Chain A
Amino acid sequence: GQNIDQPTEMTATEGAIVQINCTYQTSGFNGLFWYQQHAGEAPTFLSYNVLDGLEEKGRFSSFLSRSKGYSYLLLKELQMKDSASYLCAVDRNSGYALNFGKGTSLLVTP
């Protein structure tokens, strides 16, 4: 079966750092994605991890531990525009057909 878990909601303060966790149990694994989705809009790609370790892209970083079935997305220097839903997704068949978690709704407050 496929099971991808993320916290439902998080709140953080502008300028702070927030870590959004994702745990997964899937029948196959060929990489883990993080997408950002603002309300009423399509998801947009943030990061991709296929090997263990940390990938850094500007204010956003993503970490993967395949042995633990665990990933996190780290957002630094939070801005109000970072208020969105963050979706963790696993590619289980190398064709990039993704299994998504339910998403974590992040609210950034002044």
Chain B
Amino acid sequence: EAGVAQSPRYKIIEKRQSVAFWCNPISGHATLYWYQQILGQGPKLLIQFQNNGVVDDSQLPKDRFSAERLKGVDSTLKIQPAKLEDSAVYLCASSLEFNPNYGYTFGSGTRLTVV
């Protein structure tokens, strides 16, 4: 099966600009996650969707970050306006039903640099 697709792979923007990332999960996967990974740290969950509903967005900085998952398939994560500290890799992951043998699958990520 195809993996989790993310685009763009890299993005460089100036602070105060806006940026959007796109994620296409594995077909049929109901649950989708966005993580932020700052260099040298582990991933931090930003938001979790179940179909098109939000399950957990407690760590999403809602003053500047927003995410949606229309129709319960693709998802977009937006930052507006960006700050220097938003420089990170943004990882998308998806799962159907949890299988202890597989965990869930991450996409390759979008590396954002804010200058």
Please judge, given known A-B contacts A48-B103, A97-B48, whether A87 and B42 are in contact too, CB under 8 Å. yes
The 0/1 profile, CB within 8 Å of B marked 1, for residues 38-55 of chain A is 000111110010100000
CB-CB under 8 A from A35, the residues of chain B are 103
Contact, CB under 8 Å: A42 / B91: yes
Alpha-carbon separation in the docked complex, A42 to B109 (Å): 7
Q: Interface segment, B14-22, B65-73, B76-84, B94-102?
A: B94-102
CB-CB under 8 A from A96, the residues of chain B are 31, 33, 95, 98, 104
Say if the beta carbon of A75 comes within 8 Å of chain B. Answer: no
Contact of B41 among A33, A45, A102 (CB under 8 A): A102
Interface size for chain B: under 10, 10 to 19, 20 to 34, or 35 or more residues? 20 to 34
Residues of chain B touching chain A, judged by Cβ–Cβ distance below 8 Å, are 31, 33, 40-45, 48, 50, 55-56, 91, 95, 98, 100, 102-109
Q: List 18 A-B contacts (CB under 8 A).
A: A4-B42, A41-B108, A42-B91, A42-B107, A43-B43, A43-B106, A45-B102, A48-B103, A96-B98, A97-B45, A97-B48, A98-B43, A99-B45, A100-B42, A100-B43, A102-B41, A102-B42, A103-B41
